[in-house]
Amino acid sequence: MTPTMTPGDPSPRLFCFGLGYTAVRLARHLLDQGWSVAGTCRAGDQARKLDAMGIAAEVFDGAAPGPEAAGWLNGATHVLNSVPPGLDGDPVLTHFGPALAVPPSVSWLGYLSTTGVYGNTDGRIVAEDAPLAADVDRSRRRVEAEAGWRALSDTHQLPLHVFRLAGIYGPGRNQLVQASQGKARRIIKPGHQFSRIHVDDIVRVLAASMARPNPGAVYNVCDNESAEPARVSEFACDLLGLAPPDPVSFEDAAKTMSPMGVSFWQDNRRVDNSRIRDELAIRLQYPTYREGLQAIFETDFS
């Protein structure tokens, strides 16, 4: 579903803070629908590549921007923030929050968060109304950023929508790539499951929300089946005709992981995606990792 504008509305224009993997995929989709798209990236070479795609890109590395940034949001009808918070908080909220409270043209504001805000549930299912119990620092910063955006929204009646994303995969970023490069691992931690989402299904969720705004809404964005990572690795190897890597216990694998790598295995939860299906009428193109990896294999590896 793609947002539509009624006669007399301004031409739709998305401004995206953080034109990374997911946001660029969204930008390309909206450009195909006749939107104009602008946003920020971290470096000049990235900006030049984005400009060549038809995306007006500005450089913003999280530090205080120059005076020219005051006009970046002019004409934006939709604004998306995909910049993760740092040790000093959310740089977009810090430097652009007051400006977002001013433009009357913004009809939709989206913030990309993470399902990590729920913390560990020992495999229990979490819906959007579950307590936020983040137990690693990067997820705690997400909880703080969500609260900051909600406070700004409440004060200035902004049309805020929060999207809690599971692990993102898609073309160029998936277990097939890892397996084809000999980097796949089959880590065994019985009962430990992760939720994931194909990047193109994230785009479909965001577009559907833009088409039917519901300010204040929070959405879990994941596919229909959480799974043990070892199963995903085995499936990718099978598609490629490769023998799966030897199994290794999590305890042994953790000895060679970075602290961040270990932290990804700290939380064990299943995520309920009923709201995107019921409220936004989303029917996922890739309801499990099997459909997603199969499609990537047929496009990129056949």
pLDDT for 267 equals 94
Contact 120, 106 (CB under 8 A): no
How does pLDDT run across 200-220, given as a tens digit for each residue?
999 999 999 999 999 999 999
pLDDT of 7 strictly over 70: no
pLDDT for 101 equals 83
What residue ranges do the domains of the chain occupy?
Answer: 13-169+197-223+269-286
Q: What is the CATH number of domain 13-169+197-223+269-286?
A: 3.40.50.720
pTM of the model: 0.95
Local confidence band at 11 (pLDDT 50, 70, 90 cut-offs) = confident
The CA–CA distances, whole Å, from 264 to 23, 111, 145, 233, 287 equal: 23, 22, 20, 16, 23
Mean pLDDT of the chain: 94
pLDDT of 9 strictly over 70: no
Report the C-alpha gap between 93 and 72 in whole angstroms: 15
